[in-house]
Amino acid sequence: MQNRGTIYMLPCPIADSDSVWDVLPDSNRQVINSLDYFIVENVRSARRFLSKAGVERAISELEFVELNEHTTSSADVERMLRPIIDGRSAGVISEAGVPGVADPGADIVALAHRHGIRVVPLVGPSSIILAMMASGQNGQSFSFVGYIPVKDAERSQRIKSLERRAQQEHQAQIFIEAPYRNVKLMEALLKTLSPQTRLTVAADITGADEYILTLSVEQWRRRGMPPIEKRPTIFILGI
């Protein structure tokens, strides 16, 4: 086997207001500066991140390819891997937070393992883990299930099935929504869930207006809507 490149999974900040080096270890800098090939969810935001991070090379000298929901064929992903098979290392960058989790970065990683390419994850902010840490929910058993259906009937069905699993398996259930639909989801949660179920709302994690609170559904009903409108939010339900 010839010398292959390595894939580095490079986290970036979650909140726009965050200074890059307040949420990433300084040692990530050295890795970032060693790379000139990036597989990214969005070129514009990856460029902005690298520039804020103070990358040493001129951004114009760096090569970017996009891997996102518009990447349709596995041949495209194969093509992105080609330079790495040939010995060039690459960084994978998501729109926000850690790549490979709740984003399409996992596709290139899966293919990399099939080709015997080493994948190295770097430390950075994961809103899922940060929300779990600050929630008081059951960290011994938890699921991240992504987005909740949008249509009313399906949504309440899904919420009920998540609550059932939380009860039966004592497993915390983590989910998200497009920020502009957060209020609608919260309303559905308060209508659908049992009064004793514990619900964590974690908005703008690491940001200046970070808001993390766990209350029973009963308490949330009395307290009213938290400040989650159009703000990136993680929801966790548990018993």
Choose between 8 and 58: whose C-beta lies nearer to its own copies.
Answer: 8
Q: Determine, following the binding rule CB under 8 A, whether residue 150 of this chain makes contact with its own copies.
A: no
CB of 33 to its own copies, least distance (A): 15
Contacts of 155 by beta carbon, 8 Å cutoff, 6+ apart:
148, 149, 185, 188
234, 133 Cβ separation under 8 angstroms: no
Q: Determine, following the binding rule CB under 8 A, whether residue 130 of this chain makes contact with its own copies.
A: yes
When computed from its CA atoms, the radius of gyration of the chain, rounded to whole angstroms, is: 20
Task: Say if residue 2 is exposed, middle or buried (CB neighbours under 10 Å; 0-12, 13-18, 19+).
Answer: exposed
**How many whole angstroms separate alpha carbon 182 and alpha carbon 161?**
19
User: Binding mask 26-55 vs its own copies (x if CB under 8 A, - otherwise)?
Assistant: xx----------------------------
User: Binding mask 190-229 vs its own copies (x if CB under 8 A, - otherwise)?
Assistant: --------x------xx---x-xxxx--------------
Contacts of 154 by beta carbon, 8 Å cutoff, 6+ apart:
none
> Among 50, 67, 77, 128, which residue sits at the site for its own copies (rule: CB under 8 A)?
128
> If we measure between CA atoms, which residue out of 207, 210, 202 comes closest to residue 235?
202
CB of 58 to its own copies, least distance (A): 26
Choose between 60 and 75: whose C-beta lies nearer to its own copies.
Answer: 75
- Secondary structure (3-state) at 191: helix
> Among 43, 65, 85, 106, which residue sits at the site for its own copies (rule: CB under 8 A)?
106
- Secondary structure (3-state) at 210: coil
Can you give the binding site for its own copies, defined by CB under 8 A? 9, 19, 21-27, 98-103, 105-113, 118-121, 123-126, 128-146, 171, 198, 205-206, 210, 212-215
